[in-house]
């Protein structure tokens, strides 16, 4: 069984904006951690030469990349939405766009 939801373009944009703000906040934190690591020349040297912290740093970089891709995807989709037009969305779409399913109707 598949339940579909009708949302106006402006509702999707509002939810998406909240999600984009959340993504930006996460990116600020993660980029700060990466920047701190890159400024620590001893850690950076150990990473480059001795394979230290590879898993941790690779995971951080993967997370940053995924967040940047998600933010760009949301921005691109929002450019195509018409405020007063209805769009049919699946449950997973609502989650992806950042709808608060407890308080949003």
Q: Is the pLDDT of residue 98 over 60?
A: yes
Segments in 1-105 forming alpha helices (H)? 9-39, 41-50, 54-80, 91-97
Calculate what percentage of the chain has a pLDDT beyond 90. Answer: 89
Which pLDDT score, from 0 to 100, does residue 100 have? 86
pLDDT in tens, 75-88: 999 999 999 999 99
Residue found by looking up tokens 């399913």 in the block: 101
Beta partners for residue 4, in sequence order = 90
Residue 20: which of 60, 65, 72, 55 has the closest Cα?
72
Which pLDDT score, from 0 to 100, does residue 51 have? 87
d(CA 103, CA 94): 13
Q: Residue 3 — very low, low, confident or very high, per pLDDT cuts 50/70/90?
A: confident
């Amino acid at each position: 069984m598949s339940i579909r939801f009708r949302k106006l373009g402006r509702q999707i944009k509002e939810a998406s904006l909240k999600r984009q703000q959340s993504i930006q906040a996460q990116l600020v934190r993660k980029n700060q951690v990466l920047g701190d690591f890159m400024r620590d020349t001893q850690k950076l040297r150990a990473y480059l030469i001795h394979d230290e912290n590879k898993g941790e740093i690779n995971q951080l970089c993967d997370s940053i990349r995924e967040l940047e891709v998600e933010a760009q995807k949301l921005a691109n989709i929002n450019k195509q939405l018409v405020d007063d037009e209805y769009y049919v969305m699946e449950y997973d779409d609502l989650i992806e766009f950042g709808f608060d399913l407890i308080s949003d109707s």
